[in-house]
Amino acid sequence: MSLNKNTKIYIAGHKGMVGTAVWRALESKGYTSLIGKSSKELDLRNQQEVGNFFKIEKPDVVIDAAARVGGILANNDFPYQFLMENMQIQNNLIDSSLQNGVKKFIFLGSSCIYPKLAKQPLKEECLLTDSLEPTNEWYAIAKITGVKACQAIRKQFKKDYVSLMPTNLYGFYDNFDLKTSHVLPAMIRKFHEAKLNNHTDVILWGSGTPMREFLFVDDMANAVVFALENKMSEFLYNIGTGKDITIKELAETIQQEIGHQGKIIWDSEKPDGTPRKLMDVSKMKDLGWQFSTELNEGISKTYQWFLENIENIKEVKLEDI
């Protein structure tokens, strides 16, 4: 499709961490017709509401950054919501896009779609070759159905619908709630609060040995803009840094950034999750995109944002998940 700065772009989930970053990235490149609706204005789980919205707004492009997300605890405690609500959201967006002539659809997922013990680094081709990580399989299965729906549309209707699978994201507007957040923002909050509490010891889940890859959310947003502005010849692309560290190294890096001087205690009774999740990002690199924010810089920026917004960071209740 031919893009111009007036192309109508609907960003689903525009108030979330990824959605806000995508909005900023598009605005900075001069796009002027961005559409966003809060969950109060538009319930993406409601098929009729979504269908009516598309008929009225008629977007040219849809970026699906909307999802029900959370860490190991939330995924484990609310499997039905993580499976069903994510499928409802993406099915309504994908089908309404197809029915209303949306020219380009960018579906955002997660590296958890890949098998738990897939060969590292994770290639796009390893999708559906083995069993998933049990602690987040509900969310992963939902996201896999979204990838496959977009692939089916590419195959049957020859439309430019593409799926981008980011590694672990972090950054501005992250979720810092200790019960529902992912590992990096949870650590920032734990070390910060321990520092304020006279440098008390910090207890962290697992052994610290699993390896993880982390991508600053603004880099993810730049990847979305890249996919929007370029012809994507395949249905699925990994988005990441291609570099990983142990959870122990991550904890020590965050501890140093925050200035916490207490001990780190590892609770090995708690689950580790997947032993390693490193993305093969060569397909995006070959097209001309790669990350630009190193982990130390990203953690520093995220902590500064956390400090500046700490009064406005909301607690997320588990029953709201």
Supply the CATH number for residue 63's domain: 3.40.50.720
Indicate whether 3 belongs to any domain: no
pTM given for the model: 0.92
Indicate whether 4 belongs to any domain: no
And the tokens for 38?
A: 């809060």
Q: Provide DSSP, 289-315.
A: ------HHHHHHHHHHHHHHHTTTPPP
Helix, strand, or coil here: 271? Answer: coil
Residue stretches of the annotated binding site for substrate: 190, 205, 212, 272
Indicate whether 1 belongs to any domain: no
* Higher per-residue pLDDT: 271 or 125: 125
Helix, strand, or coil here: 29? Answer: coil
Question: Are the C-beta atoms of residues 149 and 159 closer than 8 Å to each other?
Answer: no
Q: Is the predicted pLDDT of residue 320 greater than 60, yes or no?
A: no
And the tokens for 171?
A: 């950054």
Q: Largest Cα–Cα distance in the chain?
A: 61
**Residue 200: per-residue pLDDT:** 97
Indicate whether 2 belongs to any domain: no
| Upper half-sphere CA count for residue 296 (Cβ side, 13 Å) | 4
CA distance 124 to 236: 7
Domain carrying residue 190: 9-320
Identity of the residue numbered 240: G
Residue stretches of the annotated binding site for NADP(+): 13-19, 108-111, 143, 166-169, 182
Which pairs count as long-range contacts for 283-289, CB under 8 Å and 24+ apart, including other chains?
283/124, 283/234, 283/237, 283/238, 284/223, 284/226, 284/237, 284/238, 284/239, 285/242, 287/226, 287/230, 287/232, 288/226, 288/230, 289/222, 289/223, 289/226
Q: Say what the alpha-carbon torsion angle 131, 90, 42, 172 is, to the nearest 10 degrees.
A: 60
Q: Is the predicted pLDDT of residue 85 greater than 80, yes or no?
A: yes
pLDDT band of residue 314 (cuts 50, 70, 90) is low
Pick the closest to residue 185 from 12, 311, 17, 11 (CA basis): 17
* pLDDT tens, position by position, 90-124: 999 999 999 999 999 999 999 999 998 899 999 99
For the CA atoms of the chain, what is the radius of gyration?
Answer: 19
Indicate whether 20 belongs to any domain: yes
* Higher per-residue pLDDT: 15 or 273: 15
Indicate whether 235 belongs to any domain: yes
**Residue 317: per-residue pLDDT:** 39
Structurally, the chain folds into a number of domains equal to 1
- Classify residue 229 by its DSSP letter: H
CA distance 288 to 282: 10
Q: Provide DSSP, 145-212.
A: HHHHHHHHHHHHH--EEEEEEE-EEE-TT----TTT--HHHHHHHHHHHHHHTTS--EEEES-S--EE
Active site residue: 114, 139, 237, 303, which one?
A: 139
pLDDT band of residue 315 (cuts 50, 70, 90) is low
- The per-type count for the chain, helices as H runs and strands as E runs, is 10, 13
**Residue 69: per-residue pLDDT:** 74
139 as an active site residue: the answer is yes
